[in-house]
A and B are shown apart, each in its own frame.
Chain A
């Protein structure tokens, strides 16, 4: 069996899908919220990391009482090699400011690694699935 996919539906659970390369039969391993959260709290990603761990990723993604003005928003992320469409910026603004800078950085890294010049809501959806950010 080979690792095939990872799904984080956003309800605190987690599914890892494995597939047999010979018969293509798939098996999913379902983890309950406790198991999922324990893995998450260790700062590791099942299926491997596709982008490096962002600074303070654990604190920013797991703390629920973070203050909105904790971080000065970096300006370079909207003016760097990846251009953000108006719709993408609008959607990003719905992300709580405590994690916004980090999320923006992750999306930018994702686009840069794939040689994509523009961030759009569709690309954000793809990145969320590929990077396992469904719960962020």
Chain B
């Protein structure tokens, strides 16, 4: 299976977020939204993440229907709560899934290669690349701290939330800053520097699927900008 080019993924991430968050939800934008919501689903299915993609599919279907066909005979308070959550989910969910897909399927070196092909300066690329690498690290650290709190019987209930925040943040920040420090040292010994040319072994490039998805994204963005998709126009 040919991998999607990181540039396509990045473009789709941006477009999906812009259109879903700031776009209208009526008229020709109904099909646009459906297509954009389906893109992450299809991509995830392609990676055979069946469980995740199906959960996403049905959750999105649910909020989509609820938003379109709002129930009539319903307690107004409940209605507000429902509209609030569905409105939020229908705007953010697709973007979040796309971001998740991007993170999961792109290696740091593919990402760096793609950015450099776009002539982005290393001073911007490197921090982003490190961020990429830090998400899984943060997850590991958070798990460990959570386990430690559980083990020591320090629950969330009945405590000052600021204290709890401190208990969580202090150990995480301490170990993350230590890791960051050691990581920079290690990277320097591997000749990483801000100036100087790099080569890449990661092979990236556009395929047929990239073109199709790219066009989908571009068409959606076009409609959004020029056919009055932005809310308030």
- Do A and B form a real pair? no
